[in-house]
Amino acid sequence: MDALHSLVEFNYLKPIASPLDSLPSVFFHTELLTHTNKSSQHPEYLRQAALEVINNIPIEATLIYTDDSKNEIGRTGSGGFVKHGRVRGASLKRRNADYCSVFRSEMIAVDMALDFVLEHQLFGSPRESISHRSVVQYLDNWRDVNDRRGMDIFNKLRTMCNTCVLHLQWIPSHVNLKYNDSADSLAKEGTTMPQVYVEPLTYLELYSRRKALVNISWRHPPAHSWYRSEGPGAAIRFKGDRKDQTALARLSSGHLKTLRFSRGDKRFSICTKCNMIETTPQHLLDCVALVYDGLLKLPDFVLEVMEGWRSIFI
């Protein structure tokens, strides 16, 4: 059980925040100035709506852009871009645990960016642009947060709200916004970095990892000498009678009536050519100088030399 706990992200059963806690100077924005729907509206319209928000931000404000990335083999990364006034921006990126959810990768990006702001004391009215609306909605309900990462973010927000006004704004991703795209590129670079942070996964992430590994094994079945063929139905394409097709198909696939397992090995009761008892499939081929790769390439020759064993295959 202890080993399982080390692999699973710990969550509290009840919210951790005290009823007396408050974030008086932190504002959460799950919408742009106008209502938008990313799934149905054109990216250029979303870009213009996002620019309306960005252009209203004071030039002396600290801008924070965060994003996440997950590639086809389950590697995940978080990226952030922090710009303070007219000063050149800072790039942040890191590799997360494999098969970490995109939601938690975005949470990690937010936590990483807030760490940077606190470390460098960039308290000029920070405006954080988050690419996942669900993350802003989750943090907006901070009284219900019950995970470790969410509480880390809450504690940082509580520290910052004593010295500045902080806005967490949802901004749609992949709509050709300069700094948003920079955060996206940094997150992608994070997936290629060495894995320095070894963090446990949530129960759902463990399920996703197991499901992904099973899908990979189904797409790439293990090699087995008795199931090799150029394609399905190779024996049926042979222009012979039904009995010949059946004999050839059973021989090439290994699905023979007289085949049985003895101590975990495939066995035939007897080889009718040399009268050897408890013979193996390979022995049947060796006894008549045949190679498995040639069974379907030379079907007429194979059936001719195997004529004496017809009773084995039918």
Domain residue ranges in the chain: 19-207, 236-312
Mode of pairing for the β-strands spanning 62-70 and 90-95: unpaired
Q: CATH homologous superfamily of domain 19-207? A: Ribonuclease H-like superfamily/Ribonuclease H (3.30.420.10)
Beta carbons within 10 angstroms of residue 292's beta carbon: 15
**Which of 158, 139, 134, 160 lies closest to 150 in space, CA to CA?**
139
- For the segment 159-176, the average pLDDT, to the nearest whole number, is 91
Q: Given its phi and psi angles, is residue 90 left (phi above 0), alpha (psi -120 to 50 degrees) or beta?
A: beta
pTM here is: 0.68
Q: Which amino acid, 184?
A: D
Q: DSSP string of 153-188?
A: HHHHHHHHTTTS-EEEEE--SSS--HHHHHHHHHHH
Q: Are 72 and 61 in contact (CB under 8 A)?
A: no
Confidence tier at 139 by pLDDT (50, 70, 90): very high
Q: Are 179 and 63 in contact (CB under 8 A)?
A: yes
Q: Which of 12-26, 193-207, 235-249, 292-306 has the highest mean pLDDT?
A: 193-207
Q: Are 108 and 183 in contact (CB under 8 A)?
A: no
